[in-house]
Amino acid sequence: MGDRKNKGLPLNLLQFFILYSIFHLLCISPESVTGQENDGVTIITVNDFQALQAFKRELIDLRGTLKSWNGTRNGACSGSWAGIRCMKGQVVAIQLPFKVLGGRLSDKIGQFKQLRKLSLHDNLIGGTIPSSIGSLPNLRGLYLFSNRFSGTIPASIGNSPQIQAIDLSNNQLNGLIPASLVNSPRIHRVNLSLNSFSGSIPRSFALSSSLIFLALQNNNLSGLIPSSWGTLNLRSLTLDHNSFYGSLPHSLSKLSHLEELSLSYNKINGSLPKEIAGLKNLSSLNLKKNHLTGDIPSSIGNLSRISLLDLSENNFTGEIPASLENLSNLTSFNVSYNSFSGQVPARLSKKFNSSSFVGNIQLCGFSPSTPCISAASPPAESPSLSPLSSDDDHEPKHHHRRLSTKDIILIIVGVLLLILFILCCVLLFCLIRKRTGTKARNGKSAGVEKGFAAAGGAAGADTGPNGGKLVLFDGPFVFTADDLLCATAEIMGKSPYGTVYKATLEDGNQVAVKRLREKLAKTPKEFEIEVAALGRIRHPNLLPLRAYYLGPKGEKLLVFDYMSKGSLSSFLHARGPETTIDWPTRMKIAIGVTRGVNYIHNQENLVHGNLTSGDVYLDEQNNPRISDYGIHRLMTDSANTNVIGTAGSAGYRAPELPKTKKTTTKTDIYSLGVIILELLTGKSPNEAVDGSDLPQWVASTVKEEWTNEVFDLELMRDVSTTGDEMLNTLKLALHLVDPLPEARPDVQQVLQQLEEINPKLIAETPEESAEKTHH
């Protein structure tokens, strides 16, 4: 048996999969199982014959494989019974894989005193595994994988003194793993993967000196990884997709033959011990998706045979060790979604594309969109700031362009205002005439207010002047439909979904009213369900929806708080040349917008879909408030598809959108990145610079090491104190506008980074300053 074992064992993992099937055959030596061996004694013993009949009885043989098991004792060992091999009138092997057999495994199986191999894998056999298997004194290989066995493993199974391989993988087994499974001094392969075993790994498994393959992946196992490994022969240890916790024991490094170690998808914490370098033969190390922290020890470069290294989705920090560069056999490498920082070693970034590195906000140099900006550059250049500021061509040009933009905007706004004013006059005139003609004057507004109180209910009852319906959400103002419709209004702006007016109510309060384009909106019934949900959303960085009005002809008005400072877009781009916006203000706006997006994504599970600096409004303290979140929910799907295609928000649109036509949290992150670039550069994304859009222009300028050119000139005055913050914010923003959606961080990460860049702004709780005005 001994030399057969050596022959059957694969030499390395690559060969393993090929040899795996060969091993199955070699488990029983050819001379002992071939038909020719049934010399002399060809008549099966009564005992084995009865056991075979019992075995057949309990199986369901849909394909008729066992039809050949006919006739008398004479035939059973003649070689004509499918899957049966005998020696001296006793069954030594039952091999019926892939035969669509159902039913159960008879416990008469324990009667085959010479059975060496039981291979029934890839069938449909269910029920429990009979404990009588443990009384088979000569069993060497038990292959029951890929069936429907359920229940627990009988502890007796490991009792067969000769057993070498137990493969029960891919069944529905549960309960604890019996420690006695590895009792046999010859056991070298145990595969219990793809079941529902629970509990922890028995200590005996770590102490067995014969075990070579241990596969427990895809179960419900938990507990610590055993800390005292004595099994010096283990070559493959796969424990992935369980719930193991605790840290990686240093003693793992004693497994000097180990070639494959997979612990991915567990809850392992602590750090990667530097002793890992002792695993000289390791070719595959997979630690994906755990809770590991700390630095990667540079000794990892000693794993000269490594070909797969996956450390992704952990919490590793520090730099990626340069020692990895020289691992010539490394073909699969992933460190994405950690907290690595610094520069990716050049040869690694050449060999692997960005999908191996994404999700490390502070990591740079692995793709064109993540250039490493030398942190020293802005302060270093502050002495040489003089050439920049004395560069007189630059500044006037800048101002000139800004002024002309402003002029254009002013002219457009002026024209629009004039048109609107005329329209308003006509509308108002009509309304007043109608009202005075049809309605009794007294008690009118009181009556309507009662109607609002009952608003959720029957429409029409709580009528406005023309049978419209006003529903108020919680907020500081109480007004009636009449108040709203009679308010004086001036146009503030247009968006793809409709026009926004500033309305001054009779009592002097001001609100912003958005009139939705009727053709684009959903039916009133659907509209009301969606708008009620939007009306409940409250966050200091989101512009609250205070009311909606549904007119008798289907007109839809949304009422928001009025923000006197206007939009971020006009704040940045339509100001006079003498108005400066300092860095702390810009940072505060960036963080506020990010908080708003964070709330939309993570509390409301919404996508904004159309985020631009025109949708961000500022209150008196320059706290930003995002509007239009979730507004696409009020619109028909076709309207939304069209809006995605419009040019309105061109500069903010993620590059994949024209193709996918589907807004996601990642397209929002892109838009957020553009807004942050807008704050940094003072440039509007709507005006292309040198034929490229804002993110492209910034990325290429940074790459040419003209980082200072990127920042808004007026920010350069304080560069000695704020340079680092600006630089780090710029790096972050470039991650947000990565052309690859999956490379963009989540908003939570963005927020965390921004707060780290400027810790002062965490202390200041915007909740208080913003929301107290309403309560």
Ligand X SMILES: *[C@@H]1O[C@H](CO)[C@@H](O)[C@H](O)[C@H]1NC(C)=O
In the complex, which residues of this chain contact ligand X (CB under 6 A)?
Answer: 11-12, 67-68, 70-71, 145, 167, 169-170, 189, 191, 193-194, 196, 198, 213, 215, 220, 222, 236, 245-247, 256-257, 269-270, 274, 277, 281, 291, 299, 302, 304-305, 312-313, 315, 322-323, 325-326, 329, 334, 336-337, 353, 355-356
* Max intra-chain CA distance, the chain: 118
How far, CA to CA in Å, does 278 sit from each of 239, 250, 258, 319, 404? 20, 10, 10, 21, 68
Nearer to ligand X, 499 or 752 (CB): 752
List the one residue out of 42, 67, 41 whose CA is nearest residue 56: 67
β-sheet with 267-269: strand ranges across: 222-224, 243-247, 267-269
Nearer to ligand X, 215 or 672 (CB): 215
Element at 50 (helix H, strand E) = helix 46-57
Nearer to ligand X, 67 or 441 (CB): 67
DSSP 11: S
Q: How many CB atoms lie within 10 A of CB 638?
A: 9
Q: Which residues contact 533 (CB under 8 A, 6 or more apart)?
A: 630, 633
Nearer to ligand X, 32 or 299 (CB): 299
Q: Which residues contact 200 (CB under 8 A, 6 or more apart)?
A: 221, 222, 223, 224
Which two tokens mark 696? 């492209």
Nearer to ligand X, 135 or 667 (CB): 667
List the one residue out of 124, 121, 83, 81 whose CA is nearest residue 104: 124
350 forms bridges with which residues in the sheet? Answer: none
Whole-number minimum distance, CB 284 to ligand X, in Å? 12
Whole-number minimum distance, CB 44 to ligand X, in Å? 15
Tell me the CA end-to-end span of the chain in Å, nearest whole number: 84
Nearer to ligand X, 114 or 314 (CB): 314
Whole-number minimum distance, CB 752 to ligand X, in Å? 8
Whole-number minimum distance, CB 279 to ligand X, in Å? 9
List the one residue out of 608, 478, 587 whose CA is nearest residue 539: 608
Whole-number minimum distance, CB 64 to ligand X, in Å? 8
Nearer to ligand X, 189 or 595 (CB): 189
Whole-number minimum distance, CB 70 to ligand X, in Å? 4
Which two tokens mark 738? 């990565």
Distance CA 463, CA 465 (A): 6
Nearer to ligand X, 175 or 645 (CB): 175
Nearer to ligand X, 6 or 436 (CB): 6
The one-letter code for the residue type at 701 is: T
Nearer to ligand X, 336 or 649 (CB): 336
Whether 290 and 264 have beta carbons less than 8 Å apart is answered as: yes
Whole-number minimum distance, CB 278 to ligand X, in Å? 6
Q: What percent of the chain is helix, strand and coil (3-state, nearest 5)?
A: 40, 15, 40
Whole-number minimum distance, CB 125 to ligand X, in Å? 15
Distance of CA 711 to the CA centre of its chain: 32
List the one residue out of 765, 720, 737 whose CA is nearest residue 678: 737
Whether 114 and 91 have beta carbons less than 8 Å apart is answered as: yes
List the one residue out of 98, 91, 99, 96 whose CA is nearest residue 116: 91
Whole-number minimum distance, CB 340 to ligand X, in Å? 12
Whole-number minimum distance, CB 364 to ligand X, in Å? 18
Whole-number minimum distance, CB 59 to ligand X, in Å? 17
Nearer to ligand X, 29 or 196 (CB): 196
Whole-number minimum distance, CB 215 to ligand X, in Å? 4
Nearer to ligand X, 214 or 521 (CB): 214
Whole-number minimum distance, CB 302 to ligand X, in Å? 4
Helix (H, G, I), strand (E, B) or coil at 369: coil
Which two tokens mark 3? 């030399």
Nearer to ligand X, 315 or 404 (CB): 315
Buried residues in 106-137 as b, exposed as e (16+ CB within 10 A) = bbbbbbbebbbbbbbbbbebbbebbbbbbbbe
DSSP 442: T
Which two tokens mark 596? 């708003």
Distance CA 716, CA 709 (A): 10
